[in-house]
Structure 1
Amino acid sequence: EKLINRRGPQWWDSAIRKGSRVSVLVFGDKVAGYANYGRNRARSLHFEGEIYELYLRPEFQGLGFGRRLFTAAKRDLVQSGLKSMVIWALSDNDHATEFYRALGGRMVARSSEKFGPKSLDKVAFAWAS
């Protein structure tokens, strides 16, 4: 919820203008989650597409919605000619890493990112069609 609420109209407008695509999952009158994706940003990884963020509100997790969002984003990337894809997850986020493994992703890279004084380790999962 926080992540969805923090993303104001300007963030969405900017993301879309920069060529990012967005899939939004609406359930009833609520935004249940979203994925935004486009060209791979990491030049060191030889994959064409990337899902930048895939987020689902906690109350909608475990119902197959995440898989649906992932599939929609992947299909859209492939239809845009981006036939291989990568997605990053925090390495200590077991829920996310298990989810991507279950979807057939293979771990292809590790990295860490600094957020102020904190350093967060992340892993990349990839799919090639």
Structure 2
Amino acid sequence: MFPIDPPRAPRQPTAVALYAADPDPGTVRGMLAAAAGVAVARGWTVADGGAVSDDCLLTQAPQTRPGWNRLRELAELRRITIVLVPALGHIGFTWAVWLAEQRFLHCRGVSVVSVEPMLDAIMTGENR
């Protein structure tokens, strides 16, 4: 006789936050739109209030950015499972800063995903 597996709970959609930082509002809109497109293509859901941006250069410390602090709050409240960024540099410009922010997110069950390599795959058709 074979063991019977217990019924699995329906899979919940992945809740993501989109984040970008740039002094040019048009550039930020484009980056967030690209990230939203990747999220939709993956079947992920953008969390309520999860499209977050900052009007600053990437060299500005992340914890001094209001948008990044909002994203950290979403992670603390466990409303997101993924942060989708245009490139990993949007989280922190130096290795130490990036690593500290990544650890903060990871400790709250949040993964970081960069849109950049996925867009390359989508544009070249490797994603089919």
TM-score (norm 1): 0.34
Q: Which has the higher helix share?
A: 2
- Larger-Rg structure: 2
| Greater relative contact order (Cα < 8 A, sep 6+) | 2
Going by fraction, where is strand more abundant, 1 or 2?
Answer: 1
Normalised by the size of structure 2, how large is the TM-score? 0.34
